[in-house]
Structure 1
Amino acid sequence: MSRWRLPSLRAVWFQLHWFVGITAGTLLAVIGLTGAIMAFEDELLDVLNPGVMTVDAEARLRLQPEQLLQAAQRVRPGERVVSIVLEADPRSTALVRFAAPPGERRGPDVRVHPYSGAVLPALRFEAAFNWVEELHRWLLLPRAPGRLVLGILALCLLGLALSGLYLRWPRKPASWRTWLTFNTSLRGRSFLWALHAIAGTWALVAYLIVGGTGIYWSFDVVRDTVQGWAGNERRAATETKVQPRKRALKPDGPAALDPAWNTFLAHAPNWASATIRLPERGSGAYQLTWIAQDGPHERARNRMSLRASDGALLKNEPYGAQTVGQRALTTIRPLHTGSYFGLPGRVIMMLASLALPGFAITGWLLYLGRRRQQRALARERAMAMTEQPTTPGAGAPILLAFATQGGQAERIALHSAAALRAGGRAVDLRAVSALSPGELAGYDHALFVAATFGDGEAPDAARRFTRELHAGPLMLAGCKYAVLALGDRNYARYCGYGIALDERLGALGATALFPRIDVDQGDAAALGRWMHALGTLGAAAGTLPAAANDAAPMTDWRLVARTHLNPGSLGAPLYEIVLQTTSDQQWQAGDLLDVAACHTAATLYAWLAASGLDGAARVTWQGEPQPLRDALAWSELPGAGHPFASAQECADALKPLAPRRYSIAGIPQDGALTLLVRQQRHEQGMGLASGWLTAHLAVGGMVRARLATNPGFHGPQDARPCIYIGNGSGMAGLRAHLRSRVLAGQHRNWLLFGERQRAFDSLCAGEIAAWRAAGALPECDLVFSRDDAPEYVQDRLRARADTLRDWVEHDAVIHVCGSLQGMAGEVDAALATILGEAGRDRLIDEGRYRRDVY
């Protein structure tokens, strides 16, 4: 019984961030857009209504408030004036507000020219801005439910901001470049992720302020609590109830306003704006609220009460006399709008508001991108894994198990299962990693599609199954099986895992349905034999798509640069190879490049001289007429002593050279494809592909190559920690991952890398130093085996066992790239020692131990 494991804290936060983002993101985008519009509402209305909110300043004196009041009352006779708003700016017009009609929130207002007393036209577009405000504050809902919805959205905004901060928190957060810099050369998903994360960091404080103030306004309990802390009395319960509106009384001969205004000017010489609230009866008092020119913000209001009859000062409450808590309460709205920090603050809040739709868009694009990347295989997997209804006569289900490293075995298994089901057979499609050997006894027929990893090893995901298959007593006498073994003849143990699996199943008493079929690098003829054999089990014929057995076509790449990286080293020369192509080629960190190499002219001339054949003779090879020497150049050369009656007989016997596979050392955003190629030498001379790339092909020459996806070595989709372990030319695969992670802003990386001599083999030293300085490589261990104090990668790994356990405990993914003989095996043993074999195997089962070794 498998042990149920809680998801990691980071995984939980990631799922919450994603879920809240795609559910509340649209409404937050609406709030952001409306907030951005409202940020400069007065300025926009002024531009849209020239000569209404502001006029040209004149040399004559402005009219007194009483004259402005009388001018406004002439256009709306019989209506009660509620207030007058005046600005010290000589260009500002006066705003006169009238009492609201029954059932309305606000009454009409008019603007009056400050010099002539003329009533100015009504503001155009003001109704549109009022609608935007209603949408921003309540989403056009009734006020009570609207406030509740906005409060929930404010909580969501806080949650997104804080969870985003947690998800991108680097291991060493001291470098500001790590947080705030953005690389404009990024493309595709990396560009979207970096834009989303970096912009979120820039806007983080703004969103915390907006979210916090939004919560204050939306929930009574929060507002009452904050006001209680500030020293204000709690609002009476009756305040939330609808109060009967008082009958609007007409002024019964109010006293003149000028004496009160003169008193105000005497006590507030530095006023910037003032609101005069008129009494309902002539015997009342004028209430003035005003902002000083040196006031900290637009809500730093001073208050006065002036007797209407003679303008005497009844009460003066300056802003500075309020308690600290009361003054703090007045900052809530200025903080929300950014005006607390002046014009820069308003601009920042506007930009942060405008960014909310951007976060919604980039979040959705990232989500859809992940779905699009996985859609094809996921759809096939879901269809294949779904148990099909058993048709009459279908019989017991056939087990179809696959052991895959790069994904090819799974794709073949998916298509094979589809063929069997199309023929009416029931199929249980299982990954070997999810299969136990004891389950085999429950099947009459068991088919295996088995890839070989490295030099004859089981794929990482199949190691547990293989170990258990060899461990205990198991009898499979009643089971019939077949194995499709995938491999590469360039390796000494060709199809090694498939052969070992076939032999073990036979030793346990299972009976072979048909002889094992070995497939050399997707050989179409061998896959055709497999499909024919499945036909004997009832599979429908001709259902294996070409994509399952045909590799992508080779394309032309130009060699644009070649750099010797380790002159003077005891090791073989290592070169950086830079290729470019005119076609649109995309790959991701961890992928591979298949390179078609050809024999040198000297090799061909020597072979032709020994065979006695004419290299210029015309032959037909692979359906194309060409000289024999061209066909030989791209083929495995037969033994020189082989007698051929003619050039065409020789061409008919030729087998194309298998492409050589290299780890890609860069990412598409680099603008070119980079390889790190070690020059190989043997008794016959220089290695075919390494010699072709590092010595024989001239810079500017063309290379035939194709991209090969390598999903078993891809990086995680989230920002969890990653450990990169390798040696020699294995730096290629690690470098691609590190470049991708750094550009995406994911800085929880650890590099353990080994070479021979520090003085000559410090590969990518400048780049590594830059990553470390930027905080993108908080852990870095470089070891050298031929220096005075020799050390190997596995030795350093054991020395740092505690750190390794800590990173693994925090969901780290381990990538190993380099030589299978020596480094990779020793690292695997070190991991088993440090984590325990069960711990290492758990990493494999969880997809957190990924290898690209050769």
Structure 2
Amino acid sequence: MVIGLTGAILAFREQILDALNPGVRNVAVQSAPVLTPQQFMLAAQQVKPHERVTSIILYDTPGSSARIGLAPAPGERKGETIYLNPYTGALLPELAYEGFFEWTEQLHRFLLLPRDPGKMVAGVLAFCLMGLALTGIYLRWPRRVWDWRTWLTFDVRMKGRSFLWGLHSVVGTWVMVVFMVFTLSGVYWAFDPIRDMADGWMGTLRPPRDAGATKPKGAKPPKAEPADLTQSWATFQQTAPNWQMAFLRLPERASAPLQILWVAKDAPHVRARSSMSINLQSGALLKNELYADKPLGARFQSTIYPLHLGTYFGVVGQLIVFIAALALPGFGITGWMLYLNRRKQKRIARAERAQFAASVPAGAAHDDPVLMAYASQTGQAERLALQSAAALQKAGVAVHVQSLEKLTPPQLGQYRRALFVASSFGEGEPPDSARRFSRLLHAAKAELQHMQYAVLALGDRNYVQFCGFGRTLDQRLAFMGAQPLHPIIEVDNGDAGALTRWGHALRGLMEGETADITLSAAADDSDYASWRLDGRTLLNPGSVGFPLYEVTLGGEIGAGWRPGALVDIWPGHYGPDVAPRRYSLASVPADGSLQLIVRQVRNEEGLGLASGWLTDQAALGDEVRVRLIANPSFDACAAEAPALYIGNGSGIAGLRSHLRARVLDGARRNWLVFGERQREHDAICAQEIEGWRAQGFLPELDLVYSRDVTGGGYVQDCLRDRADTVRAWVNDGAIIYVCGSLQGMAGGVDDALADILGRAQLEQLAEEGRYRRDVY
């Protein structure tokens, strides 16, 4: 940040100094002729009689003062510079504020440390900036690499963390090239071995700094007799009539030649210097090396400093360098704010959990707690269980809340009263987190005659086995002798009437008069955020199946989401009779947007309510009400673990979010088995998948097309064909993810894996969280 700020100050150093010192380096233009170098040298000797003139810098620009360099005092590296009127030779005022800029330059180049250690520190920081810039580009690498808008624009209407990330990443991309120039040139100047190596490549290797030094340190060289520059200057003007700047280096001995470095008016940059050697006594030209005739390496070396300052491209280049340097402190600020935002989000506890953790009212009984157990796939059952527990606890009833994932039949037998909120998964199966408990309960021989229970079963009547797991649980508990407190209550898609009946059942456990209990499976309206429809792309043109679209939503990313997460979306003009629809997320927070892969559904009544609105009826820019939903049963595994991803159709959405996260984490042990209809029309996300393959992130890849003339088959068939590899990956600790249609694919994959691994091992993998499914 310090180097960036000082670099911005130094970007327009010359222009600022001229503005602060009118009449010093530039004077009013006169009709009189400009003095010659010989006249300037004599004028300097008059005003500084005890000093030796070492250099004269002249500009062909009218009104430009002559800059006279004097020999340094003993022990000093740099001598004084004085300015003379170009028409009279009069001494001009000392350049004010130059000391401030010299101090700023020392801070910029050496951080005010001694020269050699300061150079090394600055060089290390240049390497660090290079690492930050390159890793920043890697972290924001977009899926659409050739879309310039993805790289160089972001929605300024975003707020909070999304705005900060957009500003941080997009501005960083804008200044990336300039930062590379900063870092490479900084490293070049900071480390002598690197500079010598680079100079060797360019053919400009110079002798060591102290080579040929014979003068005692700190000794002032003997003063030479004044040389006559008249003939030498005439030779120069004849040889270089188009000169713009001339830098005359006066020799210490009159017998030595005069060295002149000069820049032509048509030079490509200010450091494009030609050189000339002239005999001081005769004015004869000894050497004339034009810039255009220099080797390519030497010409390239001369551009390093102008590129670093931006002067290579004139005032526009200086302005770009100024903005880029000033952005460095900005990146430090936005980066720190993003870090603080991440810390803040980690401290936010779930609202229901915080509510339930509130203090228990005085006088509550603790010797006979009620067990509130839940089996949840996407969090709805957990939400209702926590609401129910909070209502009981508020009435003075002690409650223990526990997921069936960790409950065992012996632990269940310790309670006298147990309430179950149970979701079903797929065609009436238990959620993955409850499979172990279901298996243990069916194998248990314990008697539960002492226990009373009630079951709230959650389901969807669109599935054949409506509330299948809840019904199975109710039947098993009754078979083991438990007494129902209330007949099983079945809830279809959050039906409010069924939840009211559950509230009445809860009131039966409370003593005395109690208020009505209000439960809701739906999220509060405050849980929904307003996003907008930013993009819609058809992924399978010409397919025999329903159209499949990638839908992009823009909005505030906030705390982000985990791979495998879900979203609830209200379709268009939502009302009390319209329920939100749930989709798997196909993107990760680093993409900067919510991306869905939506199959357009058609039936006798026309387009599907939500899919039709998202893929056809909504206009770009329309508001979309969105709620992010954690999906812990389909969450990402550790980066070091291998991962096998299996799916079909729109199930690529949930798999793609996982694979994108794995690529960002550098996890390479990934295997994708994906099925669709025809390769010609249904090669969904093919370019991205092939890119992962080429980069080494998909060492195993099987794409199966069921209706191709050559080949065909389904993903479950592919798994059976590669059974040995499946076993090897599982034995190596692989996590299996399945995402896609319940009918056909998910059941077929489950049967295939059971045949390959054995049903017992597959059940064990599910209980260990190594067999994770998101099917619909």
Q: TM-score range by the shorter chain?
A: 0.5 to 0.7
CA gap of 1:197–1:70, structure 2 versus 1, over 3 A, is same
In the alignment, is the contact (CA less than 8 A) between 2:142 and 2:151 conserved in 1? no
Q: Which residue number corresponds to residue 822 of structure 1?
A: 744
Give CA deviations for 1:441-488 in whole Å, capped at 9, x if unaligned. 99879987644334433334555x457647977979899897875613
Per the alignment, residue 712 of structure 1 pairs with: 631
Indicate conservation of the 8 Å contact 2:746/2:775, yes or no: yes
CA drift of 1:159 comes to 1.7
1:611-650: CA deviations, max 9, x gaps?
Answer: xxxxxxxxxxxxxxxxxxxxxxx9xxxxxxxxxxxxxxxx
> Are residues 53 and 576 of structure 1, via their aligned partners in 2, closer, same or farther at CA, if it must alter by over 3 Å?
same
- Of the candidates 18, 22, 35, which is equivalent to residue 63 of structure 1? 35
- 1:274 match: 246
Instruction: Name 2:429's counterpart in structure 1.
Output: 457
Shift of 1:346: 5.8
Alpha-carbon contact 1:754-1:793 (below 8 Å) kept? yes
Q: Map 1:575-724; keep pairs closer than 5 Å.
A: 590-594=566-570, 659=579, 661-663=581-583, 678-680=601-603, 707-712=626-631
SS at match of 2:631: helix
Greater relative contact order (CA < 8 Å, ≥ 6 in sequence): 1
Q: 1:103 to 1:232 in 2, by over 3 A?
A: closer
Q: Does 1:217 align with 2:217?
A: no
Distance 1:579 1:225, change over 3 A: closer
Q: Is the 8 A contact 1:663 1:732 kept in 2?
A: no
Aligned CA distance change for structure 1 residues 360 and 758 (closer, same or farther; 3 Å):
same
> Relative to structure 1, is the Cα distance of residues 756 and 99 closer, same or farther in structure 2, using a 3 angstrom cutoff?
closer
Is residue 110 of structure 1 aligned with residue 95 of structure 2?
A: no
The alpha-carbon deviation at position 399 of structure 1 amounts to 9.0
Question: How far apart, in 2, do the equivalents of 1:324 and 1:511 lie?
Answer: 93
Q: Say if 1:254 and 1:470 are closer, same or farther in 2 by CA, change over 3 A.
A: farther
- In 2, Cα distance between equivalents of 1:166 and 1:235: 40
Alignment-derived partner of residue 261 in structure 2: 290
SS class of match (1:659): coil
Q: Which amino acid in 1 is paired with 2:628?
A: T
The residue number in structure 2 matching 1:488 is 459
Query: Deviation of residue 710 (structure 1)?
Result: 2.8
CA distance in 2 between partners of 1:304 and 1:819 (Å): 80
2: CA distance, partners of 1:842 / 1:263: 94
1:133/1:704 Cα in 2 relative to 1: closer, same or farther (>3 Å)?
closer
Between 1:377-386 and 1:220-229, the stretch displaced more is 377-386
Distance 1:416 1:213 in 2: 66
Distance 2:484 2:148 in 1: 60
The count of aligned residue pairs is 737
Question: CA 1:836/1:335 → structure 2, altered by over 3 Å: closer, same or farther?
Answer: farther
Which secondary structure state, in structure 2, belongs to the residue aligned with residue 117 of structure 1? coil
Residue 135 (structure 1) shift? 3.6
What are the within-5 Å matches in structure 2 for residues 318-467 of structure 1? 332-334=304-306, 336-337=308-309, 349=321, 352-357=324-329, 359-360=331-332, 363-364=335-336, 367=339, 375-377=347-349, 403-411=375-383, 435=406, 450-463=422-435, 465-466=436-437
Partner of 2:698: none
Structure 1 segment 24-63 matched on structure 2, within 5 A? 27=1, 30-46=2-18, 52-54=24-26, 61-63=33-35
Distance in 2, Cα, partners of 1:92 & 1:394: 94
Correspondence for 2:146: 177
**Quick one: which amino acid aligns to residue 487 of structure 1?**
L
Structure 1 residues 31-74: Cα deviation after superposition (integer angstroms, max 9, x where no partner): 33443443443345456656654567766542112333444566
SS in 1 for 2:425: coil
| 1:153 partnered with 2:141 | no
SS at 2:146's partner residue? helix
The answer (yes or no) to whether the contact 1:751–1:777 under 8 Å persists in 2 is no
Give the residue type in structure 1 aligned to 2:747: G
Q: Could you list the runs of 5+ residues in structure 2 that have no partner in the other structure? A: 696-700
The separation in 1 between residues aligned to 2:648 and 2:740, in whole angstroms, is 5
CA distance in 2, matches of 1:680, 1:109: 87
Whole-Å Cα distance in 2 between the matches of residues 804 and 344 of structure 1? 60
CA-to-partner distance for each residue in 1:782-822, whole Å, 9 max, x for gaps? 95669999755655787899999999999999986654222
Q: Is the 8 A contact 1:227 1:234 kept in 2?
A: no
8 Å contact kept, 1:519–1:526: no
Structure 1 range deviating more: 130-139 or 296-305? 296-305
Contact 1:680 1:691 in 2 (8 A): no
Distance change (3 Å), C-alpha of 1:758 and 1:223:
closer
Q: Which of 202, 208, 219 matches 1:246?
A: 219
C-alpha distance in 1 between matches for 2:81 and 2:88: 18
TM-score by length of 1: 0.60
Q: 1:225 to 1:374 in 2, by over 3 A?
A: same
Q: Which runs of 5+ in 1 are unaligned?
A: 1-26, 599-633, 635-655
Structure 2 CA distance for aligned equivalents of residues 320 and 597 of structure 1: 70
Specify the code of the residue in structure 2 equivalent to 1:177. W
Aligned-partner residue type, residue 745 of structure 2: M
**Contact kept in structure 2, 1:488 and 1:520, CA below 8 Å:** yes
In the alignment, residue 452 of structure 1 is paired with which amino acid? S
Q: TM-score, normalised by structure 2?
A: 0.64
Report the counterpart of residue 83 of structure 1 in structure 2.
55
What amino acid is aligned across from residue 123 of structure 2 in structure 1?
Answer: G
Deviates more, 1:803-812 or 1:711-720: 803-812
CA contact (8 A) 1:260 1:286 kept: no
Q: Give the whole-Å Cα distance in 2 for the aligned partners of 1:771 and 1:166.
A: 16
Given that 1:402 and 1:430 are in contact with CA atoms closer than 8 Å, whether structure 2 keeps it comes out as yes
Question: Is the contact between residue 454 and residue 485 of structure 2 (CA under 8 Å) also seen in structure 1?
Answer: no
- CA–CA distance in structure 2, aligned partners of residues 130 and 674 of structure 1: 59
- Contact persistence 1:86–1:273 (CA under 8 A): yes
2:525 to 516, 541, 552: 552
Q: Quick one: distance in 2 between partners of 1:479 and 1:257?
A: 117
Note closer, same or farther for the CA distance 1:847–1:268 as it changes in structure 2 (3 Å cut): farther
Q: Distance in 2 between matches of 1:198 and 1:579?
A: 19
Amino acid at match of 2:87: Y
Deviation larger for 713-722 or 82-91: 713-722
Distance 1:41 1:847, change over 3 A: farther
Mapped partners of 1:329, 1:564: distance in 2: 51
Query: What per-residue deviation string (whole Å, max 9, x for no partner) do you get for residues 218-246 of structure 1?
Result: 3455456656777555556999xxx9533
Q: How far apart are residue 725 of structure 1 and its match?
A: 7.5
Contact 1:398 1:443 in 2 (8 A): no
Q: Residues of 2 paired with 1:402 and 1:201: CA distance?
A: 48
CA separation of 1:424 and 1:777: change in aligned 2, threshold 3 A: farther
RMSD (Å) for aligned C-alpha atoms = 7.3
Amino acid at match of 2:746: A
Match of 1:629 in 2: none
1:23 is matched with none
Aligned counterparts of 1:170 and 1:670: Cα–Cα separation in 2 = 11
**2:637–2:735 contact (8 Å) kept in structure 1:** no
**CA apart distance, 1:353:** 3.8
- The 2-side partners of 1:100 and 1:846 are apart by 78
